[in-house]
């Protein structure tokens, strides 16, 4: 098996995770790292290898690149996908696909007709716990799926400058949960969302919410509830509960330790949950990349597609509209 040569676009927070994944994945080799902040690219190259450049065109025209991993800021995503298609290079692109659905629609036909594999980085589908629940639901262990509850709370809010360009909590944060919702219930028809400002003056000043809930309805009457907060006093809160006619499957948070103390005052491990998404989801990022590369070799698709990225953004737009107007928004036939 010859290595697939990978060009990494962006060497920031998530780019560093992907560089680690490439290094850890058999049959993958980091050929290029591109970042206008060249020091970031150089630092990663020193650790993991690869040539560096500030110009993405060097990666697209190199001739030795099979795959690009796009980990640059969201406004660059569609352009990178478009250029990768033209260059005949497979592309794993970070979420969200974009913040503007009109731009996504413009590239949709070209993306779906492309001869390259295109995946969007909804890594949580590859979390072993959530994936296991999904497979067991699909195998009928719960009978008919009736309700899905997704709880997702960040340890603390991003800086105000990030919030200002994030597209709002639904497009930036809940976007992962919209994809998780569709992982279980692909055909969602209705969205109702509520948003509130309960703790952050910065987020309020940016006309965004710091606390939200979304209730969605699937075609077969499934109810999906998402609850998000931009802060959580006890660490990163990532839980999921699938409830069906024959029972329930749920995944709890992950603690840094399994050591627990039991005494007369109670039973607890007493530590907050793992509070960094890069650590909590480390395995999922690696599996996401490994399966993407497997798919290229097998001629199959194991990852969320361009259209999954589009669908999550449509749900985010619907939730934004619903939270602003107080009305339920139909997405029937739009996903
Ligand atoms: N899947 C996840 O869990 C997850 C987590 C974090 C971020 N993300 C997504 O990844 C993307 C990057 O986020 P981040 O937190 O790593 O941001 P970041 O700011 O830490 O890093 C972005 C990097 O891209 C570089 N860059 C800017 N323009 C570029 C260009 N045209 N070409 C190449 N590099 C360029 C910047 O210099 C910076 O080093 C965002 O779209 C974000 O939504 C996904």
Between CA 238 and CA 252 the distance in angstroms is 7
17, 34, 45, 72: residue to mutate for ligand 1 pocket, most atoms within 8 A of CB: 72
pLDDT level of residue 13 (50, 70, 90 thresholds): very high
pLDDT level of residue 278 (50, 70, 90 thresholds): confident
pLDDT level of residue 173 (50, 70, 90 thresholds): very high
How far apart are the CA of 180 and the centre of ligand 1, in A? 21
| Section 145-149 average pLDDT | 98
Predicted local distance difference test score (pLDDT) of residue 268: 79
pLDDT tens track for 90-141: 999 999 999 999 999 999 999 999 999 999 999 999 999 999 999 999 999 9
Is the backbone peptide bond immediately before 96 cis, with ω within 30 degrees of 0?
yes
Predicted local distance difference test score (pLDDT) of residue 237: 95
Predicted local distance difference test score (pLDDT) of residue 257: 82
7, 11, 12, 79: residue to mutate for ligand 1 pocket, most atoms within 8 A of CB: 12
Between CA 175 and CA 212 the distance in angstroms is 12
Please state which CATH class domain 125-277+311-330 belongs to: alpha beta
Nearest alpha carbon, ligand 1 atom 18: 12
pLDDT exceeds 80 at position 269: no
pLDDT tens track for 210-226: 999 999 999 999 999 99
| Section 21-37 average pLDDT | 97
Structure tokens at 67: 């795959």
**What length is written for the chain?**
335
Task: Give the ligand 1 atom nearest the CA of 40.
Answer: 39
Predicted local distance difference test score (pLDDT) of residue 260: 84
Predicted local distance difference test score (pLDDT) of residue 71: 98
Q: What are the pocket residues of ligand 1 if the criterion is a CB atom closer than 6 Å to any ligand atom?
A: 9-15, 34-37, 40, 56, 71-74, 76, 94-95, 121, 123, 277
Domain boundaries, the chain: 4-116, 125-277+311-330
Predicted local distance difference test score (pLDDT) of residue 259: 84
pLDDT level of residue 170 (50, 70, 90 thresholds): very high
Beta strands in the chain (DSSP E): 4-9, 28-34, 51-53, 67-70, 90-94, 118-121, 145-153, 188-196, 211-218, 223-229, 237-244, 247-251, 261-263, 266-268, 329-330
Task: Give the ligand 1 atom nearest the CA of 123.
Answer: 1
Sort strands 118-121 and 51-53 into parallel, antiparallel or unpaired. Answer: unpaired
As separate numbers, helices (DSSP H) first and strands (DSSP E) second, the chain gives: 13, 15
pLDDT level of residue 255 (50, 70, 90 thresholds): confident
pLDDT exceeds 90 at position 295: yes
Structure tokens at 255: 């603690």
Mean pLDDT of the chain: 96
How far apart are the CA of 191 and the centre of ligand 1, in A? 29
Q: What architecture (CATH level 2) is domain 4-116?
A: 3-Layer(aba) Sandwich (3.40)
Long-range CB contacts (< 8 A, 24+ apart) of 58-62?
A: 58/32, 58/34, 59/7, 59/9, 59/32, 59/34, 60/7, 60/84, 60/86, 60/87, 60/89, 61/87, 62/7, 62/31, 62/32
Query: Which distant-in-sequence residues (6+ apart) come within 8 Å of 306 by Cβ?
Result: 81, 97, 107, 108, 111, 112, 118, 120
| Global pTM value | 0.96
Sign of CA dihedral 91, 35, 82, 285: positive
Structure tokens at 126: 């590859």
Predicted local distance difference test score (pLDDT) of residue 239: 97
Task: Give the ligand 1 atom nearest the CA of 121.
Answer: 1
pLDDT exceeds 90 at position 230: yes
Between CA 151 and CA 228 the distance in angstroms is 6
Structure tokens at 31: 């050929």
pLDDT level of residue 271 (50, 70, 90 thresholds): confident
């Amino acid at each position: 098996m010859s290595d697939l040569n990978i060009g990494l676009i962006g060497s920031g927070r998530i780019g560093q995770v992907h560089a680690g994944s490439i290094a850890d994945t058999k049959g993958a080799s980091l050929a290029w790292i591109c970042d206008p902040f060249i020091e970031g690219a150089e630092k990663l190259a020193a650790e993991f290898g690869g040539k560096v450049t500030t110009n993405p065109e060097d990666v697209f025209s190199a001739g030795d690149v099979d795959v690009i991993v796009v980990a640059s800021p969201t406004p660059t995503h569609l352009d990178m996908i478009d250029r990768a298609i033209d260059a005949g290079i497979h592309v794993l692109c970070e979420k969200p696909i974009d913040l503007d659905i009109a731009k996504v629609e413009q590239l949709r036909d070209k993306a779906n007709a492309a001869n390259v594999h295109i995946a969007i980085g909804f890594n949580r589908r590859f979390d072993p716990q959530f994936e296991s629940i999904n497979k067991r639901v699909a195998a009928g262990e719960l009978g008919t799926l009736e309700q899905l509850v997704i709880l997702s709370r960040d340890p603390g809010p991003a800086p105000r400058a990030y919030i200002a360009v994030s597209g709002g909590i639904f497009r930036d944060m809940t976007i992962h949960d919209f994809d998780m919702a569709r992982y279980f219930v692909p055909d969602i028809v209705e969205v109702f969302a509520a948003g509130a400002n309960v703790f952050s003056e910065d987020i309020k000043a940016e006309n965004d919410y710091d606390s939200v809930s979304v209730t969605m309805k699937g075609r077969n009457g499934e109810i999906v509830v998402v609850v998000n907060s931009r802060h959580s006093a006890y660490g990163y809160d990532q839980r999921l509960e699938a409830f069906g006619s024959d029972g329930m499957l749920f995944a709890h948070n992950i603690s840094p330790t399994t050591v627990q103390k039991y005494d007369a005052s109670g039973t607890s491990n007493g530590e907050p949950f793992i509070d960094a998404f890069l650590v909590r989801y480390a395995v999922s990022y690696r599996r996401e990349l490994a399966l993407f590369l497997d798919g290229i070799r097998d001629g199959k698709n194991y990852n969320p597609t361009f259209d999954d990225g589009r669908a999550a953004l449509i749900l985010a737009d619907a939730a934004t509209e619903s939270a602003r107007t107080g009305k339920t928004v139909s997405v029937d036939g739009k996903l």
